[in-house]
Amino acid sequence: MADNLRIGIAGLGTVGGELVAMLQARADQLSAQTGRRLEIVGVSARDRSKARPFAPGTWAWFDTPEALAVAPGLDVFVELIGGEDGPALRSVTAALTHGRHVVTANKALLANSGLQLASLAEANHVALAFEAAVAGGVPVIKTLREGLVGSQINRISGILNGTCNYILSKMETEGLSFTQCLAEAQRLGYAEADPTFDIGGFDTAHKLAILTSLAFGTAVDRDAIHIEGIQSITLDDIRAAAALGFRVKLLGVAERNEHGIEQRVHPTMIAHSAALAQVMGVTNAVSIDANAHQRLTLIGPGAGGKATAAAVIADLTDIARGNVPHPFAVPAAELTPGERVPMQAHRGGYYIRMFVQDRPGAFAAIATRMAERGISLESIMQRPGVEHFSGASNVPVVLITHATTEKLVRDALAAILADGYVSEAPQIFRIERD
């Protein structure tokens, strides 16, 4: 048998603790599969005296992840601390600089410093592996980087944040408000005390930035992503969407079009028949449109200690077998800047819900503002299922447009608001029909 693969693990929390336990439990099986023993030689966390979910081992304890990263004799440094800078960035940088392979589950770190860290890994001929960083237990990184190498990818769309999907699913199935569902998500540990990062769409954007780079050969560019969260979605909107044959999901979408690579995160109305519409609760899913494969959809656990640790083990076994691909599929120096597409250029159908004052001329004025910009309406519903909007003092109106551009819709809505017939900012969902 070849030499042991000597592993240091920084972070022994939800994922790190489970990783140690799984490496202990499956040691013989993993060495049979890789031809090497996966040996833990060092660990690090904040509190040495904390109870952990694994049996004590013969490994060394390190007070800082940076010290573990450069410890003599280490082959792989596993970073399971979290955070886009601080000890995670410092220790990963130190490990790569010292020629150690790195495995991480840290999407924030990669979304922020992915290109720089990939360059460092390549310069030192080591791996920077991150299967666990996007959609936890769903093997989407390997699928994009290796499984789909024979196909040209044109579009990725995904449910990448379990917290948001849990909230939206529960609103629909149990008829509860956003606030009630968020409180329940917090009680169950699906949402942080400060949920902004999840419900504001930022976590989805970090993951989308990584997937976009892998799919399109562009440098990770999280600032190119248009981001909207789910905070303003009401139960009434979800019910109105359902009545029209749609579900509302927070999607991360990256697609190639004539302008470049469009990247966006926002609530989206998806036809009930689409695979992503069936994904409920904390589950994650990614649909990939690739020319030779048409559409491929992966669905599975987006988080959780076991599923995420299993993804880390998949990366460790790759390293044990000597499979060390470029982190973002092509050499970091060949990743292109990627043409940013402004959201204003987005083309598609729109759901627009507004509360209109019940005055003569109001509806005609709205229709006129749309028509002036060539926006063709598929339907216009006054009082759509009025019981859904029962608290409203003004008349709820839902417009469904045929394909148009974001710019025209925004211009029309600005004109409608200026006319003074609409009482508050309209709700907008982009519509995905397939």
Ligand X SMILES: NC(=O)c1ccc[n+]([C@@H]2O[C@H](COP(=O)([O-])OP(=O)(O)OC[C@H]3O[C@@H](n4cnc5c(N)ncnc54)[C@H](OP(=O)(O)O)[C@@H]3O)[C@@H](O)[C@H]2O)c1
Instruction: Select from 76, 80, 277, 316 the one that contacts ligand X (CB under 6 A).
Output: 80
Q: Give yes or no: 207 in active site.
A: yes
| Among the residue ranges 26-34, 74-82, 120-128, 218-226, the one whose residues contact ligand X (CB under 6 A) | 74-82
Which amino acid does the sequence have at 227?
I
Long-range CB pairs of 339-342, under 8 A, 24+ apart, other chains included: 339/259, 339/260, 339/261, 340/221, 340/224, 340/260, 340/261, 341/257, 341/259, 341/260, 341/261, 341/262, 341/263
SS3 percent helix, strand, coil of the chain, rounded to 5, is 40, 25, 35
Residue 112 in the binding site for ligand X (CB under 6 A): no
Q: How far apart are CA 332 and CA 218, in angstroms?
A: 9
Do 217 and 329 form a contact (C-beta atoms < 8 A)?
Answer: yes
Instruction: Identify the residue among 114, 136, 252, 396 touching ligand X (CB under 6 A).
Output: 136
Tell me the residue number closest to ligand X, measured at CB: 13
How far apart, in whole angstroms, are the C-alpha atoms of residue 89 and residue 99?
Answer: 16
Options 15, 43, 254, 319; binder of ligand X; rule CB under 6 A: 15
The answer to whether 169 contacts ligand X (rule: CB under 6 A) is no
Indicate whether 92 belongs to the interface with ligand X (CB under 6 A): no
Region binding ligand X by CB under 6 A among candidate stretches 8-16, 153-161, 212-220, 406-414: 8-16
User: One of 107, 142, 207, 249 is an active-site residue; which one?
Assistant: 207
Binding of ligand X by 82 (CB under 6 A): yes
**Closest CB to ligand X among residues 50, 383:** 50
Q: Indicate whether 235 belongs to the interface with ligand X (CB under 6 A).
A: no
Count of positions on this chain that bind ligand X (CB under 6 A): 24
Specify the amino acid at residue 361.
G
65 binding ligand X? (CB under 6 A): yes
Q: Does residue 43 interact with ligand X by CB under 6 A? A: no
Amino acid (1-letter code) at residue 31: S
Q: Which is nearer to ligand X, 82 or 114 (CB)?
A: 82
Query: At 10, which amino acid appears?
Result: A
Please say which residue, 303 or 400, places its beta carbon nearer to ligand X. 303
- Tokens representing 223 are 């600032």
Distance (Å, whole) CA 148 – CA 374:
40
Q: Which residues contribute to the site for ligand X (CB under 6 A)? A: 10-16, 44-47, 50, 65, 80-82, 87, 105-106, 132, 136, 303-304, 308
* Active site amino acids: 207
